[in-house]
Amino acid sequence: MSRDVKVNAAVALGARNLLRNLRTPMLVAASLAQPVIWLVLFSQIFRALAGTAAFQRLGYQSYLAFFVPGMVVLSMLFTALQSGMATVTDIGSGMMDKLLISPIRRSAILAGRVAADAITMLAQAAIILGVALLMGARPRTGWPGALALLAYATAFGVVWACLANLIALRTRNAELTMVAGLFLTLPTLFLTPAFFPKPLLPGWLQAAAAATRPPT
């Protein structure tokens, strides 16, 4: 199969997955609602933290500005989990079998799925960042920093979506995919400095965050 055919197949499958998201907007809204709600609630609950000397010494302007990247990443994690669930749905409906016997490479199937996820994640991250800007957050590095946040978060989300799809393909079970996804998602969020700067975390959480940090 030529490279052009493979690319065209991935584009077609990506468009199909995006259209399916648009036809079921509650799926996108569900992965977007929780990060936005948490952004609004926790930024107000812990707003006084920004007035402490320990927080100010770390150079953060406000708790809201510190908290925004964590909520952007949270939206990526939920969208990645939904990507795995969508793959299980395709397996159960027989769509995956049709794709596997069609004259396209299997890598094009995953590429189409991940491409649609990347576009969805980028749009969600932009919405969360827009909400944060309306609430008064300002990126210290300006628009280049905001764009870099969107790019890095989307890249992270794509990797997580690939992992979720791998779990779905291995288990072929919606319940197991959901449980495995949540088991990986929530510890990843809470064992990182998403809610508090690392120097302000308890010692055992600092050790856990250091242990879960990928090698450089």
Number of CB atoms found within 10 A of residue 196's CB:
17
What average pLDDT does the chain have? 81
pLDDT at 3: 54
Residue 105 gets the label, from left (phi > 0), alpha (psi -120 to 50) or beta, of: beta
pLDDT at 35: 86
Average pLDDT rounded to a whole number, residues 193-206: 79
pLDDT at 216: 42
pLDDT at position 215 over 50: no
| Weakest mean pLDDT among 12-21, 116-125, 206-215 | 206-215
pLDDT at 6: 53
The sign one gets for the Cα dihedral 165, 171, 173, 176 is negative
**Residue range 145-157, pLDDT digits in tens:** 889 989 999 999 9
pLDDT at position 214 over 60: no
pLDDT at 201: 77
Alpha-carbon distance of 166 to 161, in angstroms, equals: 8
**What pTM does this model have?**
0.79
- 172: tokens are 């072929």
- 1: tokens are 């199969």
Q: How far is Cα of residue 170 from the mean position of the Cα atoms in its chain?
A: 21
Alpha-carbon distance of 87 to 107, in angstroms, equals: 14
**Residue range 44-56, pLDDT digits in tens:** 888 888 888 878 8
pLDDT at position 166 over 80: yes
CA-atom Rg of the chain in angstroms = 19
Q: Which residues 6+ apart lie within 8 Å of 189 measured at CB?
A: 70, 73, 74, 77
**Residue range 83-119, pLDDT digits in tens:** 888 888 888 888 888 887 877 777 788 888 888 889 8
Highest mean pLDDT among 26-35, 43-52, 123-132: 123-132
User: What's the 3-state SS for the chain?
Assistant: CCHHHHHHHHHHHHHHHHHHHHHCHHHHHHHHHHHHHHHHHHHHHCHHHHHCHHHHHCCCCCHHHHHHHHHHHHHHHHHHHHHHHHHHHHHHHCHHHHHHHCCCCHHHHHHHHHHHHHHHHHHHHHHHHHHHHHCCCCCCCHHHHHHHHHHHHHHHHHHHHHHHHHHHHHHCCHHHHHHHHHHHHHHHHHCCCCCCCHHHCCHHHHHHHHHHCCCC
